[in-house]
Homo-oligomer: A and B are copies of this chain.
Amino acid sequence: MSRGTGSGSTSEARARLLGTATRIFYAEGIHSVGVDRIIAEAQVTRATLYRHFSGKEELVLAYLDQADRGIRAQVASAQAEDAPAADRIRAVSRSITEGIRSPGFRGCAFLNAVAEYPDPAHPIHQAVLAHRQWFLDTVTELLAEAGHTPAGAAGRHLVMLRDGAMAEGCLFDPELVSETFLQAVEGLLRARPASTGRK
């Protein structure tokens, strides 16, 4: 049917492939789904997959890269507001709980992926580490701007809360998890609220 003109420079079949892979990998894991499933649901042939990706691993990396871009965009838009740093942290935290509350939430794509690729030398593992480092740096900078004197410790604390919330989000009641997370973040912000710091 609607074949389309195929005008896209990166091809429409590739987009369908990546979209399907993203959906299935996130929902069901990586090792437990074969390329047969993906090409069937993407309505693409085997040859098409291997024309666009060197193999399953590259497809997984593309999946994580897409997730990374999505989260960066989400954090950027939450951070875009012209508001005090503490409020921007609250905005980022709220965007996290929105994810947790959304239907089909299945935890952090990166934590899930790294559970399946424990080898630190593996490209997929390293992609996860790179994403996590970016996130830690981002929230640490934000907390420093908010006046948290040991911003590093506060950043690690916030990331730890986020990791716990993301991991639990699909195991406990998402509403309770979100509420607990936001309260914990408020506690963290309250711990050193001084805008000037007390040195």
| A interface residues, Cβ below 8 angstroms from B | 27-29, 31-32, 106-107, 111-112, 114-118, 128-129, 132, 136, 153, 156-157, 159-165, 167-168, 170-172, 176-177, 179-181, 183-184, 187-188, 191
Contact = CB atoms under 8 A, between A and B. Distances in A.
Contacts of A128: 171
Contacts of A162: 164
28 contacts: A29-B115, A107-B115, A111-B167, A114-B171, A115-B116, A132-B171, A132-B172, A153-B179, A153-B180, A153-B183, A156-B172, A157-B183, A157-B184, A159-B164, A159-B168, A160-B161, A160-B165, A160-B168, A160-B177, A160-B184, A161-B161, A161-B164, A161-B184, A163-B163, A163-B164, A163-B167, A164-B165, A164-B167
Contacts of A157: 180, 183-184
Contacts of A172: 132, 136, 156
B32 A171 contact: no
Given A29-B116, A31-B31, A180 B167 contact: no
Given A31-B29, A164-B162, A187-B187, A118 B156 contact: no
Contacts of A27: 118
Query: Which 4 pairs between the two chains have the least Cβ-Cβ distance?
Result: A164-B164, A160-B164, A163-B164, A31-B31
B31 A116 contact: yes
A22 to B, nearest CB: 15
B168 A180 contact: no
A176 B161 CA distance: 15
| Residue from the set A106, A129, A179, A187 with the largest chain B CB neighbour count within 10 Å | A187
A106 B165 CA distance: 19
